[in-house]
Structure 1
Amino acid sequence: MISDLPGDLFEDILSRVPAISLKRLRSSCKRWNRLFNNKEFARKHLHKAPKQSFFLTVTKDYYIYLMTINHRGIRSIQSKGELSPIDCERIIISEVFHCDGLLLCTFDNKTRIMLWNSFTGQTSWGIQPFCTSHTYALGSYQESRYGNCSYKILSYKDDSVHEFAIYEINSNSWRILDVVNSNSWWWILDVIPDFKLLYTCTYVSLKGKTYWFASDSKDEQLDMFLVSFDYTTERFGRLSLPFNCPSGFPRDATLSVVSEEKLAVLQHNNTWGKEIWVSNEIDGTNEVSWRKVLTVNDPKRDIWFTIARFLLNEEKKVALCCETCIFNFNTTMKKLYVAGEDNIVNLMDYGETSTLGPIILDYVPSLVQISRSVAKGK
């Protein structure tokens, strides 16, 4: 039996098994259960196991659903069920951000923050929001002392005055370089960015870094580009886009990730079409290059304005697009559609929603653990 194998070989084999399959084995024996609770094994599994991609969407009633695309026959979207923390009451979701299988959720107009691994059930409610007008992102970094993978939250507001703050999750100690509030648990970053973040609700995590669209703060005539934040060095970097896009039109493009390995960008090339570009695998040591993989023709519509998000299955050359069609100041309509290189578009009405922007995001289940110093759920 596999459980009779030497420890190192046993761990190496299981670290290459997808998370969904491992969950079925967890109750098989105490040895396996202990292994799944081991942080070092969780780190190995994150890097070695095949990625099983699903997508999450937030409904008009603020429920989070796990979904997948059925590629057999007529393409369709299938629900895998609702996701809900076991230790919380009914709450109003403001934002959801995904990194390494962890979900960073803000609730009740950003007055509460929860860090949640919906796969293992772990939650943390012990994080004090920095400011209700800020947006939050989650990223990973390598601890300098032991080389372990830990996590930080970046809080930011980018308008006429740049405000960035860091919250270290896996530590009981807090560093404050610039005290804004004597009771603050946040560390203010000592940076003066030379950029302005654009359309800040479109941002993604890839290999621990966070990426946004941005424009040059000194020369607004320059095309927009991508900005990344490295949670290890706590520095920002720039990446070029594969197309020219004036910084005054940030909604002409949107950002996504592919298989937790690559970036993808979607550009509106005209009124009815979109082009999707995919980067090479980004590992922090190579330059970014792009190639166009898909052109999507939008379903015909009669609307005032749309905000698009998308997810891409690069292997099958199929894109899931989500748009909010704004009819007036009070009513919006979400539309989901699946489109492929065959130009067959399967359109699904998603219903009215009270939120301005649609929330869909790529989700890969993982065994990543939340620090016990802040975790309050099992």
Structure 2
Amino acid sequence: MMISDLPRDMVEEVLCKLPMTSLRRARFTCKRWNNTLSKDWRFTRKYNGEAAKRKEFQVVMILEYKVYLMSVNLHNPSPSIEPIGKLHDAGVDIINVFHCQGLLLCVTKDGTRLVVWNPFTGQTRWIKPRDSYHRCDRYALGYENRNNYPLKVLRFVDDYDRNLKRQYFYRGLSLKGNTYWFAENKVAPGKIGRVFLLCFNFTTESFGPRLLLPFHGRYGDTLTLSSVRKEQLAVLFQECAPAYTLKVWISSKVGPNAVSWNNVFLSVDMKPLIGFQFHCFAGSFFVDEKNKAVVVIDTTRGHPFTIRNMAYVLGENGYFKSVDLGDFAPMKCWPLVCSYLPSLVKF
């Protein structure tokens, strides 16, 4: 019997046990396997379901300008975050990533190139600008909420409302086709403005109204967005002074024109644990609802040559663990994490 003659159920059983970085090579085994991996949405759902049964989930992480797929398991006594493989190996350094519908919009270190990439299928497309890119440009990936939801890349220019200023060191987040950013009122020198959310609607290609946050944030606070189940926003807030209590909320309803929030999902006093504020350039995070845990990606503090990339696992009743993610080269790339689910979306 040839490998192409194996029963469909057996083929899927084998493929579901492979790490995602090996699936791209498996596509070229035979035409039938290629069709299963590149066209069969049912298999994609099964693959994601098998990963959930193993109590593992996957995230995309930037470490030292390289993009990795990481396997996360928080159910063990000692949490593990292990690299499955390097996803992007095109000889370029990546400084930022936006995730949307299984696709990654990668921004190069020099800010002069963009590439949209589906790690599951291996498809890539370099995006050429109408004119030259600028190092202060900001980008997002989204889609129209229609039957074929065409994908779009937003190049953000901060002249939408001269009464607002968008916090450039805070990352945006794509959710259900739209992108959310933190913004702040422009106020007189010495005054403190209030931070809120702005949503860019890719269907109408316009910004919506100001969306209230469940806290009073300001310039210098650690503010980070994440997604939960691809359906809700999660927001992390740590005040810049005294910079000890960290809080996370999950939305109950979210859309371009309105957002409502549940009660605090997790509140942790960081003073006895690490005693410092997560950096506003880092501090990205993801949520494990089942374990009622939050994982924050940042670095240690101290002498530049002893700093490490770290994952800080926070939970209820004082639960705290840290996972070493390797060296952090001084003045280089801040670690970054975003949620990820494989998808067959093409572009």
After TM superposition, the score normalised by the length of structure 2 is 0.75
Residue 328 of structure 2 corresponds to which residue in structure 1? 352
> What residue is the counterpart of 1:273 in the other structure?
245
Percent identity over the alignment? 31
Counterparts of residues 262-301 of structure 1 (less than 5 Å): 262-268=232-238, 270-282=242-254, 287-298=259-270, 300-301=273-274
SS of 2:263 mapped into structure 1: strand
Amino acid paired to 2:104: L
Identify the residue that residue 72 of structure 1 maps to in structure 2.
Answer: 75
Amino acid of the residue matched to residue 75 of structure 2? R
- C-alpha deviation, 1:283, in angstroms: 5.2
Give the superposition deviation at 1:368.
Answer: 0.8
* Higher mean C-alpha deviation, range 130-139 or range 202-211: 130-139
1:335–1:27 distance in 2 versus 1, CA, 3 Å: closer
1:310 maps to 285
Counterpart position of 2:172: 203
Specify every segment of 5 or more residues in structure 2 that has no aligned partner in the other structure, as ranges.
Answer: 1-6, 10-15
Q: Tell me, which stretches of 5 or more residues in structure 1 are unaligned?
A: 5-16, 163-190, 371-378
Match of 1:149, SS? Answer: coil
- Determine helix, strand or coil for the equivalent of 2:141: strand
Cα 1:99/1:225, change in 2 over 3 Å: same
Equivalent-residue separation in structure 2 for 1:198 and 1:126 (angstroms)? 25
Aligned length: 314
- Equivalent position amino acid for 2:153 in 1: I
Q: Superposed, which structure 2 residues align to 1:17-166 within 5 Å?
A: 33-34=34-35, 37=38, 53-60=57-64, 62-85=65-88, 88=90, 90-128=91-129, 130-142=133-145, 147-158=147-158, 162=159
After superposition, what is the alpha-carbon deviation per residue over 1:304-348, rounded to whole angstroms, capped at 9, x for unaligned? 973322111122201111124565789854321112113221113
Deviations 1:238-263 (A, max 9, x none): 21111122x333x3322211111111
CA distance in 2 between partners of 1:225 and 1:281 (Å) = 16
Kindly indicate whether the alpha-carbon contact (under 8 Å) linking 1:304 and 1:327 is maintained by their aligned counterparts in 2.
no
Letter of the structure 1 residue corresponding to residue 205 of structure 2:
E
**Is the CA contact (8 Å cut-off) linking 1:253 and 1:268 kept in structure 2?**
yes
1:375 alignment counterpart? none
CA distance in 2 between counterparts of 1:352 and 1:261 reads 33
Counterpart among 182, 195, 220 of residue 213 in structure 1: 182
Task: Indicate whether 1:242 and 2:242 are aligned.
Answer: no
Distance (whole Å) between structure 2 residues aligned to residue 74 and residue 201 of structure 1: 33
Q: CA deviation at 1:196?
A: 1.5
How many Å separate the matches in 2 of 1:314 and 1:293? 9
Seen in structure 2, the aligned counterparts of structure 1 residues 285 and 235 have a Cα distance that, compared at 3 Å, is: closer
Mapped pair 1:253 → 2:223: yes
Sort the Cα spacing of 1:151 and 1:328 in 2 relative to 1 into closer, same or farther, 3 A.
farther
Q: CA RMSD in A?
A: 3.8
Structure 2 partner of 1:184: none
Render the CA deviation track for 1:105-142: whole Å, top value 9, x for unaligned.
12241122111001111011243363232121111114
Q: Which amino acid aligns with 2:336?
A: I
Greater alpha carbon shift after TM alignment, 346-355 vs 98-107 = 346-355
Mapped partners of 2:124, 2:186: distance in 1: 38
Deviation at 1:366, TM superposition (A): 0.9
Aligned counterparts of 2:250 and 2:101: Cα–Cα separation in 1? 20
Q: 1:108 to 1:199 in 2, by over 3 A?
A: closer
Instruction: Give 1:79 shift.
Output: 1.8
Deviations 1:71-122 (A, max 9, x none): 2332322324223347x3x221121111111011122411221110011110
Answer 1 or 2: higher relative contact order, Cα 8 Å, separation at least 6: 1
Deviations 1:164-184 (CA, angstroms, capped at 9, x unpaired):
xxxxxxxxxxxxxxxxxxxxx
